[in-house]
């Protein structure tokens, strides 16, 4: 095995360790998004898992369930987007801005 190849393997292992640590940290990170002026709030972690959903009583109208559904979807989608943006920022730090297919 050449010295250059061994160095590449070592760098790959270091990057893998950094990625594992980053994934642990992202799981602890939480982002929040609201819809309807705060009537619906979604909290998502850095792995895009929904952790909590708060719905203000004023948003619950039995005659307009569709509006509540739309608010929930909007809040969850925005929270997931914020989480994905945070992931991309962290991956950019790890890879030096290189877009490496298949990492996430």
d(CA 84, CA 29): 12
Structure tokens at 35: 């819809």
Residue 85 belongs to a domain? yes
Q: Give the phi and the psi of residue 72 in degrees, each rounded to 5.
A: -65, -45
Q: For 68-97, write each residue's pLDDT tens digit.
A: 999 999 999 999 999 999 888 887 877 775
Q: Note down the domain range covering 46.
A: 31-95
pTM, two decimals, is 0.72
Q: What one-character-per-residue DSSP string does 37-100 give?
A: TTTEEEEEETTS-EEEEEE-GGG--TT-HHHHHHHHHHHHHHHHHHHHHHHHHHHHHHHTT---
The domain that contains 74 carries what CATH number?
3.30.1310.10
Q: For 4-41, write each residue's pLDDT tens digit.
A: 777 878 877 887 887 778 777 777 889 999 999 999 99
Residue 57 belongs to a domain? yes
Residue 26 belongs to a domain? no
């Amino acid at each position: 095995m050449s010295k250059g190849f061994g160095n590449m393997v070592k760098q790959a292992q270091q990057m893998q360790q950094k990625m594992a640590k980053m994934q642990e940290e992202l799981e602890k990170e939480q982002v929040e998004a609201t819809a309807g002026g705060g009537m619906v709030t979604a909290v998502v972690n850095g792995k895009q898992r929904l952790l909590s959903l708060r719905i203000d009583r004023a948003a619950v109208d039995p005659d307009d369930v569709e509006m509540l559904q739309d608010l929930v979807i909007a809040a969850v989608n925005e929270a997931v987007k914020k989480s994905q943006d945070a992931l991309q920022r962290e991956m950019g730090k790890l890879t030096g801005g290189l877009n490496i297919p298949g990492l996430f």
